[in-house]
Structures are given as structure tokens and as C-alpha cells.
Structure 1
């Protein structure tokens, strides 16, 4: 949809579009450089990074489609860097690094590098690169100091020359020092790629025209966002969600959200959410704000250029002292992967009351991030690896949800089994779709995955966060919950022990894990959930249910009990019995 801007435009349409696309291309080139040059599998294979450029006023101008949860938080990083190092102190190719959750960061593994870009001694903008480093020390703790090295804004490069003492400190604080220097250089390469592209634009069009392009693309997105909000009925829409445990308590940690739509503005208010948590799920303001923005982006003209123009129409109320806006020293390790996904789920559930015909059911609502160590039996060397077993997305008004897809918080990928087995002393024995894991509905959710990783020698689960272990992801418009997630230890002789989630006997084990040890031949098994269902399952096309059973996405038992679809032994549709089952269900 094309929306006429309400602001005065100086640039002709062709120049505007060339600059708009160039801002995006600049970030795409940053990501290409980072992915090809990095040393860590979590960066080059799992794509757990983001790159962006910002205007001289530190407003997001362009980004790549990497981790949405990073993007809107990165301007807090750039602002923190400028507070420590004012612009009049910065020079060409100075680079500030930081990851402190209470000073521009979100959680400690996400390390941000900020570089000003000058053109003929005038500030043209900022290049910012954030990447998830494999390890910065630490693990699960009740104090942020236990979560690894925390870097306030520090000068990592001065005039393009590295601060070797600081790099040595970083390497000395990591279990994987062999990755650190290469990843730093890769992020530096991404920043220089942005610098090259922005200077090329200024050479061609002049710095004033490039700056004007930045202003106009922000205004354009703002205008498109205004028009999208106007299509949402005015009103107040409330919802909530929760994480079952913070790892130290069996008490759920809840959030409440109130969306207030009035004209062309949306207010997002988290008043009433639980206080700061003892465990590592607290979400710094930057992370919570970022989660709100990307959650709403899905329904506020997703075709609009992705920049800070959208943020101008959203008013945030995030009370300090809650787990969605904590204060030091609350731990935050799971904020990007667990908490942000619950913010998305709650916002989507609230929007389902305003836009029932357009809303998508909640996803698996977690990244299911884990970090583990594995000992090499030949060298006795300890390796650290990480993975993100994905789940399903929710059903939509038009189709079933996607299978085994990363939550909206990130466009990350799982660690390829072939790469993992080459680099680490582990073996991937299974990575398969999980039957009956999706929420039932007229359009069912996508299914989750069953993953099994065997340790060749000793191993330890250093950290694992998950959720949805009690009732799965909720459906909308009459759709059903997905199946709960579960984590198990499989012994060398094939016995299973539940270590997270609901055991077969009904016992529930907290899903935040750390310090779980594995002996040679034992395996870590993760059963992820699917997405919630959309609409009444009894309205689903019976033949679609039969096809799901044939594809082992739905069991024959669930087809009959939840969908009212009866199949013969050969999995053919029993039409008359199916009609009787559905009529009986409707009568109830």
C-alpha cells in the first residue's frame, strides 16, 4: 500500500527510493561481511547478530532482517556510547564496545560495537553491530555479576587501532578465547563496510542530500504507521502471559499489558506486571521496548521501511522495579530469548480482541537457548557449544502455522548437525518433527521438534532457558494450546529422566536449568512446542486433518478427540463417523 506522506518532501521520488534502498543495502553488506569473517558458529551459521545504521540524531535508519529483538535496543547502546564519549571527543574509526545490561546493553552475551561515520569531518551517522558471542564467562545466577564479563562503554579501537589490553581482558574472561579476536575483527569489518557505503552515497549525492534522505525515510515510515494504527478500532485491549519459573522459585512470573488505541497512536502499558525476579529473566528497558516495537511491527504496516519512524507513534509505560524494567543488580541472561517472546505473545493476544480476523496465534514463544560444555576424550579439552531448538508458529487467519521456526524475536537458525559434529565431541542423534505438538484449530499451529544430542565423553548443561512447559502456547479465536515443552536426560542404556517440565508421573521440574552433568554416552533431549491454533478445531477441513495424520504431524487419537475426525486403519477419512463426531461435539 502506498501512503502519501503528510510532511513536505524535498527529494524527488527516484532519489528518495535510491537512498531508502541504499540504507538497507548498507546493512545487508554489513551482515554479509560479519557472517563470512566471524569465527563463532553462533554467528556464521546460526545468524545470531544484527547490523544497523543510525542518523546523526541516533535514530534507526536502516537494518537487516536478523534479530528483531536486537534492533530497537541498539539505539540505547549508541546513546550510552555517546554519553561516555561525547561526539566532540570521537574521531575517525573510533569504536566503542559495550554489553552491560544496565549501561546500554540487554544481556551479557550480546556485544555491541558503535562507530561514528564522518564525511569531510562532518558527522554522517553511526554504524552499529551487535553479535551474540559464544561465551563471556558466567552462567545462571541471582546477581548480574555472575552472568559473565560486563563491559560499560569502552574504547575498543582508537583511530582504527585496537585496544590490545582490553581485548586480552575479554579473551581472558571467556571459555572460548579462540573465537573472541576473530569475532571482534569481523564486527569491525562490518562497521567499515557501513562506513564505505555511507561515504559512497555522500560522494554521489552530497552529505546534505543523504541527511535529508534519512529524515524523509523516517517521516515516511511514521506516516505509514499512523495510517495503519487508524485502522485498528479505538479502545483498550488487555492480555497477559507468564514464565513458569525463574529457576529459583516454582511461582510463575507474570506480565500484564494494556494496549490503548486512540486515533493514530498506541499506548503500551505494563503496569501490574510482577516485580523484579530473583532468577535471570529480568528484561532491561531497552530489551522490553525492542520487544514491543517488533511485536507491533507485524500489524502496523509490515511493508513500511523498518526504521525509528514507527517508534514515534508508540507510547511506552514500563514501570521501574518490575521484571520488565529492573534495576541493578538483577540478572538478565534470559531476557532476549525468554522474556521478549512473552511480551510478543501478550501483545498478540491483546490485539486478537481488536483484530480477530487478522491476528496470528502465539508462536512457541521462546528461543529455547542452551549452552553446554563437552569434553574431548582424545585431548581432554573442553569445548563450549550452543543451540536454539525452534518450535512452531501459530495458526493464521489464512493458513496453518510454520513448522520448527525461530520465534519472532530472531531470524536465527539452529546449529547444523554436520558442523556441530565436526567442531565438538558430540553427536546429533535426532532432529525430527514432534507429533501432536501443535495447537489444534481451524488453522493449526506449526509443530515443534524433538532434538537429541549425545555426549561422546563428559558434558555439562551450563545454561538452558525454556518455558511453555505447563500448557504450551495459547490459541486465539477458539484455537487450542500447543503441547508443553520438555527436557530429558537419556542414559546410555536408553532410559529417560525428565530434567525440565512435566514428567510422565505429573511431577513438574523447573525449566531454567544449569549445572546438569552428563556421562559418556548420555544425551540431552529437547522436545519443543508448536504454535497455538487459530479458530475452532471442529471447523478444520477433515481431509486436511487426515493429511496431517498421514504426515505424522497429528496422531490418529488427537484427530478423533480434538478434531472429530475418524480415520480407517489405512488412514482414509471415515466421512459418516466424522460427521457424527462433529455433530455430537457441537451439541455439547
Structure 2
């Protein structure tokens, strides 16, 4: 939809013009022939700051692995589809002021479009390192020179052509979690617990009969994708953030924007009580999102990219796991007798029949520490705010 992005293109071009003019003014003010010497100094200082941070991690090898929901493979004739979980494994080796991450032991390339190319693996792995060791150091070449990364060729984290990669975020955005799991053995006070990890991308398509036109179904064809996030894992000294995108940092789209751009109604967007893993520090909550069609002709299709519906975010140091995610279709007006909810595969394109609405329960983050050590005042506040419910 070009009309949706042309304003962004104009804004980027204008910002580039303004930035270039300001840079020239800066060089003239300080009588500098080039910005390169300053950039080189920033890069050198960033490298040294990262090396200093790595030096504070005890030398050693730290291993961790985790399991994702994965994907499904067609079963033999007469048999159901087979679910194939995905394993991400890493070994972090710290030697002086250098750090190496090796992903040997990770699952092989998948037949589905969730494979990850090596540059994506490098990006999310180094991001996990930086968050834990040196969050205040600028992002540049220097800050990552002390960190090296390898992954077996042909693994899901180092796929080769023609492996499909369109949904690589589903796997790639788990990399900080596996990296943090290894680092937690050395520097637990600098690492958060596991959270929901990958974004829940909600992609819709069909006919928009609010606009008129000559598209299929009598209206303008539309396609819209927007992002939703579950809870982050607990922090070493604080609760996890609720419904916050980590590691992507992507913001959710306001309901008003969704409803203005597509024939959809967001009926509910609310935090899920109890979905954050209990602990001395509680995991962040996921949220519930309820969506129904508004002005389609029964041709609405929904393409989810969801994980953490079978494997919850684990807690750490006695903390409890976060709540699992869920996704189903239910009747808007219950029939007599009511039909049970339909649960399509969370990574499969689905037709949404008229009279049905989509319910998404996003997962929560894991807790840190024994729940019995939680401050009673914080327990009371959670009950008062509806983040948890009283037993019974």
C-alpha cells in the first residue's frame, strides 16, 4: 500500500537533508576538515569499553540451551502432523578481554520459512551480549570487535540458499535468551530471565468493503501486519516489563490506527492476570487481544507467527515460569449449543469464518528468585492492581 509509506519516505529524505546540513555546520564551527578522526576515536573508545566489560566476566566456558515450540511436518497418510521442536544451544568462551559464542548443537535448517541467516544471528547475539555487559556503550564496529560468533553451516542459525527465511524473527529473536542463559552462570546480577522473546506478528488480508472498489469480494483488497508483545523476564532487582518487545524494541500499533487502516475491530486489549512468572521479582505480564472483522465479506485470512504456546518462558533461581501463550477462534454470538473454540496451528495461514473472532493470549515472562522472598507490599500492590488474583 504505497499510500501507507509515502509519508515515511518523505520524512526520511527531509531528515537526511537536515542532518547533512547540521553536520556541515558542525564541521565549519570547529574548523574540522572531516568527521572521520572523531568517528575513529568514538569507535576506539567503544572497543576499549567493551573489552573492559568483558574483563569483568570470569574466564571460562558457559553453556546453555533452550527449546522452542518449533514447527509442524506433514504426517504419513492417515496420521496427524508431527510437531518438531527447535533447540538453540550455545557455548560462550570468555578469555581475558574477548568473548566467543559458538552455536554448535543447534537444530538443523528447517523446511519452513523460519531459518536465520548468519548476519541476523550475529546481530541478535551481539545485542544480547551488549545488553548484559555494556548497555551504555555506543553501537558501532568497535564495540563488537572483541566478540566473535560461529554457527554450524546448515544449522537453523546459519542457513544457506535456498533455505526459506521470511519468518526468521521467530527463531532469531530468541538469541538473547540463549546467550543470557549462558551468561547467567557467570554474572547473574546482570542478566534478565527469559521472556516471550519473538514478536507475535499478526498479519491479515482480505477485502475491505468499507472503501468500495473493484477488488475480490466487492471491496479494496487489503493486507496489514502489526506487532504485539508478551512479557519480559524478571530483572535481577525488579519485576519484568509487561507487554514489552524484547529484544526487538518494536512498539505495538494503537487500536485506532489498526481500525482506520483495515476492516478490523479490536474488541479487547488487556493485561493477563497471573501470566507473569512468580518470583522474588515477578515476570512481566502478557496481554489478551480480541479482534473481529468489520466490513469484510467472509474472506478474512489471518497468518500468525506465534511461539511460546507449548514451551513457557522458564524462571530462574527458584522463580516460576511465565504463562503460556494461546490463540483460538471463538463464536461472537454463542450458538445453541455453543461451538467449542477452534485452535488453528499458531504458524499456519487460517481462514476466519464470519461470526468468529480471534483471541490471542500473549505469553508472560519468567520470574527470578523464590516467590516466598517477595516483598509483601509488592504482593499487595499486584493484587490491588489486578496483576495477580488471590488463590481460590
Regarding TM over 0.5, the answer is yes
Distance 1:263 1:544, change over 3 A: same
> By how many angstroms is 1:208 displaced?
4.4
Q: Is the CA contact 1:238–1:259 (under 8 Å) kept in the aligned structure 2? A: yes
1-side partners of 2:43 and 2:299: how far apart?
49
> By how many angstroms is 1:407 displaced?
1.7
Is 1:394 matched up with 2:233?
yes
Instruction: Name the structure 2 match of 1:537.
Output: 371
> By how many angstroms is 1:246 displaced?
2.8
> By how many angstroms is 1:499 displaced?
2.4
Which of 369, 388, 392 is matched with 1:554 structurally?
388
**TM-score with structure 2 setting the length:** 0.88
Instruction: Name the structure 2 match of 1:441.
Output: 279
2-side partners of 1:190 and 1:288: how far apart?
30
Query: 3-state DSSP class of the match of 2:347?
Result: coil
1-side partners of 2:183 and 2:340: how far apart?
40
2-side partners of 1:374 and 1:556: how far apart?
43
2-side partners of 1:364 and 1:464: how far apart?
15
1-side partners of 2:12 and 2:177: how far apart?
32
Is 1:482 matched up with 2:322?
yes
Instruction: Name the structure 2 match of 1:51.
Output: none
Q: Is the CA contact 1:284–1:332 (under 8 Å) kept in the aligned structure 2? A: yes
Distance 1:186 1:499, change over 3 A: farther
Instruction: Name the structure 2 match of 1:311.
Output: 144
For structure 2, the residue ranges without an aligned partner over 5 or more in a row are: 74-81, 213-218
Instruction: Name the structure 2 match of 1:414.
Output: 252
Instruction: Name the structure 2 match of 1:499.
Output: 343
Distance 1:202 1:376, change over 3 A: same
2-side partners of 1:371 and 1:247: how far apart?
20
Is 1:512 matched up with 2:347?
yes
Query: 3-state DSSP class of the match of 2:93?
Result: strand
2-side partners of 1:273 and 1:202: how far apart?
49
For structure 1, the residue ranges without an aligned partner over 5 or more in a row are: 1-175, 501-509, 561-588
Instruction: Name the structure 1 match of 2:307.
Output: 467
Instruction: Name the structure 1 match of 2:71.
Output: 246
Which of 57, 60, 74 is matched with 1:232 structurally?
57
Aligned counterparts, 1:345-364, within 5 A: 345-364=177-196
Which of 306, 329, 333 is matched with 2:162 structurally?
329
Q: Is the CA contact 1:374–1:424 (under 8 Å) kept in the aligned structure 2? A: no
Is 1:372 matched up with 2:188?
no
2-side partners of 1:498 and 1:191: how far apart?
49
> By how many angstroms is 1:491 displaced?
2.0
Instruction: Pick the structure with more helix per residue.
Output: 1
**TM-score with structure 1 setting the length:** 0.60
Query: 3-state DSSP class of the match of 1:525?
Result: strand
1-side partners of 2:7 and 2:361: how far apart?
34
> By how many angstroms is 1:181 displaced?
4.9
Q: Is the CA contact 1:434–1:447 (under 8 Å) kept in the aligned structure 2? A: yes
Q: Is the CA contact 2:191–2:235 (under 8 Å) kept in the aligned structure 1? A: yes
Is 1:429 matched up with 2:273?
no
Q: Is the CA contact 2:109–2:159 (under 8 Å) kept in the aligned structure 1? A: yes
Q: Is the CA contact 2:107–2:155 (under 8 Å) kept in the aligned structure 1? A: yes
> By how many angstroms is 1:362 displaced?
1.6
